[in-house]
Amino acid sequence: MADDVLEQILIQVKKSPFYSIQLDESTDIEYLPQLSVFIRFINNEAVSEDKLLCKPLKLHTKGEDIFQLLDDFFTEYSIPWDKCAGICTDGAAACTGIKSGVVKRIKDKAPNAVWTHCLLQENCLKSCTKC
């Protein structure tokens, strides 16, 4: 069933004139790094949002490793980088590094993509001890 859901999302993303992605690298309860990616796209003249992937990062949480996992997924499923209009991440150095961060590497593939900083996690951590 999960494969069918992914296939439906991919069909819709490929039909969309553009999309944006939100990345989050976090550590699970076993202290293993995970990458979650949400995607927003146009579907029937409305904005849709779905979880695109959640995969473990092998060894490192460096920008290069995060981008490689993402790029491999995009290549495997033929998601065109040139339709990427936006990138949203937290302020982690692995994501925002000027020379080797994920944002830099995505912008190399999608130069028109605009990066925004997501404050949701940071605000949550400042105001809530149960997050």
Q: What is the DSSP string of 78-106?
A: T--GGGEEEEEE-S-HHHH-TTTSHHHHH
**pLDDT of 99 over the 60 cut:** no
Q: How many domains does the chain have?
A: 1
Indicate which CATH number applies to the domain containing 61: 3.30.420.40
Q: What sign has the CA pseudo-torsion 58, 41, 94, 126?
A: negative
C-alpha–C-alpha distance, residues 23 and 97, integer Å: 14
pLDDT at 7: 94
Structural domain span for residue 68: 2-127
Q: How confident is residue 117, by pLDDT bands cut at 50, 70 and 90?
A: confident
C-alpha–C-alpha distance, residues 20 and 8, integer Å: 17
pLDDT at 124: 41
Would the pTM of this model clear 0.85, i.e. be above it?
Answer: no
Give the mean model confidence (pLDDT) for residues 1-25: 90
Segment 30-77, tens digit of pLDDT:
778 888 899 999 999 999 999 999 998 876 677 888 899 999 999 999
Q: Which residues contact 122 (CB under 8 A, 6 or more apart)?
A: 90, 91
